[in-house]
Amino acid sequence: MKKRAIVTESNRPAKTQASSREAPRAGPLVGARFELSVAALAQLPPAGPPEIAFAGRSNAGKSSAINALACETQLAYASRTPGRTRQINFFTLRNGARVADLPGYGYAAVPHSLKRDWQDLLWHYVTARTTLLALVVVVDARRGLSDLDVALLAGFVPSGRPVLILATKADKLNIAARRDAIAAIRRDVDARFVPHADSITVLLFSAISRTGVEAADTVIRRWITGEFS
**What pLDDT is attached to residue 161?**
96
- Say if residue 46 is preceded by a cis peptide, omega within 30 of 0: no
Cβ–Cβ under 8 Å, residues 18 and 64: no
If you average pLDDT over every residue of the chain, what do you get?
A: 85
The arrangement of strands across the sheet holding 33-38 comes to 6-7, 200-204, 163-168, 132-140, 51-56, 98-101, 88-92, 33-38
The stretch 109-114 carries a mean pLDDT of 56
For residue 174, which of 148, 209, 144 has the smallest C-alpha distance? 209
Global pTM reads 0.85
Instruction: Count other Cβ atoms within 10 Å, centred on residue 18.
Output: 9
For residue 43, give the DSSP letter: G
The stretch 6-30 carries a mean pLDDT of 56
For residue range 119-174, list pLDDT tens digits in order: 788 889 999 999 999 999 999 999 999 999 999 999 999 999 999 999 999 999 99
Indicate the pLDDT class of residue 16, thresholds 50, 70 and 90: very low
Q: For residues 88 and 24, what is the distance between their CA atoms, to the nearest angstrom?
A: 29
Please say if the pLDDT value at position 93 is more than 60.
yes
Cβ–Cβ under 8 Å, residues 104 and 122: no
For residue range 19-69, list pLDDT tens digits in order: 334 445 689 999 999 999 998 899 999 989 999 999 999 899 999 999 999
The stretch 8-27 carries a mean pLDDT of 50
Cβ density class 64-74: b for 16+ within 10 Å, e for less: bbbbbbbbeee
For residue 78, give the DSSP letter: -
Q: Which residue has the higher pLDDT, 227 or 58?
A: 58
Chain-centre distance for alpha carbon 16 = 22
Chain-centre distance for alpha carbon 42 = 24
Ordered DSSP codes for 155-221: HHGGG---EEEEEE-GGGS-HHHHHHHHHHHHHHHHHHSTTTGGGEEEEE--TTT-TTHHHHHHHHH
- How far is residue 197 from each of residues 135, 172, 186, measured CA to CA in Å? 14, 27, 9
Task: Give me the domains of the chain, ranges plus CATH numbers.
Answer: 6-225 (3.40.50.300)
